[in-house]
Amino acid sequence: MKTFTDKVAAITGAGSGMGRSLALELARRGAHLALSDIDEASAAATAAACRALGVRVTSQRLDVAEREAVFDWARETVSAHGKVNLVFNNAGVSLSVPAATARHDDLVWLMNINFWGVVHGTQAFLPYLAASGEGHIVNTSSLFGIIAMPTQSAYNASKFAVRGFTEALRMELDLAGSPVSCTCVHPGGVATNIVAASRIDDSITALTGVDPQTHRRRANKLIDVTSADAAARQILTGVARNARRVLVGPDARRVDKLARLLGASYQTLVVWFYRRAAMSAKRSRSSAAATDASTPSTN
């Protein structure tokens, strides 16, 4: 898809982060938009900003875990816009918890959004994308769809699943000679609110030596590598050249190279890093406790 002018793009998770940036960048390039988010007000705010750029925009509340609702949205998008050329299955959530203590309800919540939301969006829009004569599916995986990390087993599972689903779909579309193609996106640290909204289980402390608050603070630093606007531009560049995979940000590109170089041995490196970090955290706590014990009481 060499140009986005007068194309119609549907975007999930459009109320903030990469979804919002994708919507605004597509609007600047002349695309019309169907936006959705589980937060209806945030989707409406993005829609208003895009309309100011002179394109047609519809928006609504959508929980991508609800299959029938996603299919209804696809039909409503075509009814409102006459066609649809692109779907960005972008909505996602995060969960930090050791595999052994992960609660079933949390796993279902995460997989329903991160994986099944992608499947629902793909299947709902695919017939309409094909009917447009030029369609593209963009599914958001992650840097953690390339490597796994401790406390991220659920998130890793969902993002590896998105990667496998999308790569198989791309080959099936190629084999069928379809007018639709697809791209799998692997963002590294992109400055969004995913960490702020993530679920972090207290049980990570026993494994990593770090409490949930510290874990969240460190995670926020790690995602502040690439702006959401820069990520959107990189994704659209990949779509324009029909890339099979888009690595977003320098950290994603570095980790991809490391995984290719080390193979499964990267896991040993990660374990070493986590053990070193846990020891450092333990020393810091011991030092703080010693300082408190030696400080004279003023009571």
pLDDT tens across 261-279, in order? 999 999 998 898 888 877 7
Domain-located, residue 156: yes
Residue 47 lies in a domain: yes
- Asked if the structure places residue 90 within a domain, the reply is yes
In terms of pLDDT, which residue wins out, 216 or 108?
108
DSSP bridge pairs for 138? 88, 183
Owning domain of residue 83: 8-261
Going by the DSSP 8-state scheme, the letter that residue 285 receives in this structure is H
Residue 72 belongs to a domain? yes
Q: Which has the minimum average pLDDT: 24-38, 71-85, 200-214, 221-235?
A: 200-214
Q: Rounded to an integer, what distance in angstroms lies between the CA atom of residue 22 and that of residue 90?
A: 10
Q: Which two tokens stand for residue 257?
A: 């190279």
User: Please, what is the average pLDDT of the chain?
Assistant: 89
Any domain includes 159? yes
CATH number at residue 169: 3.40.50.720
Q: Collapse the DSSP code of 66 into the 3-class scheme (helix H, G, I; strand E, B; otherwise coil) and give the result.
A: coil
Its pTM stands at 0.88
Q: Shortest CA distance to 160 belongs to which of 146, 170, 173?
A: 146
Instruction: Provide the token pair at 160.
Output: 């590896």
With cut-offs at 50, 70 and 90, classify the pLDDT of residue 195. Answer: low
Domain count, the chain: 1
**How many Cβ atoms are within 10 Å of 276's Cβ, its own excluded?**
10
296 within domain boundaries: no
Chain segment 11-27, per-residue pLDDT in tens = 999 999 999 999 999 99
| Predicted pLDDT of residue 299 | 45
Q: Averaged over 159-178, what is the pLDDT?
A: 98
Any idea how long the chain is? 299
Residue owning tokens 């990267």: 266
Instruction: Quote the pLDDT of residue 57.
Output: 98
Does 270 map to a domain?
A: no
- 220 or 70, which is more confident? 70
Per-residue pLDDT of 128-149, as tens digits, reads 999 999 999 999 999 999 999 9
Q: What is the DSSP string of 192-252?
A: SSTTTT-EE-TTHHHHHS--HHHHHHHHHHHHTTB-HHHHHHHHHHHHHTT-SEEEESHHH
Please list the active-site residues: 155
Q: Are 190 and 225 in contact (CB under 8 A)?
A: yes
Q: Enter the tokens of residue 146.
A: 């390339």
Instruction: Please state, for a pLDDT cut of 90, what percent of the chain lies above it.
Output: 73
Q: Which two tokens stand for residue 229?
A: 């606007």
Rounded-to-integer distance, Cα 193 and Cα 204, Å: 21
Of 14, 17, 18, which Cα lies nearest the Cα of 33? 14
Instruction: Give domain status of residue 255, yes or no.
Output: yes
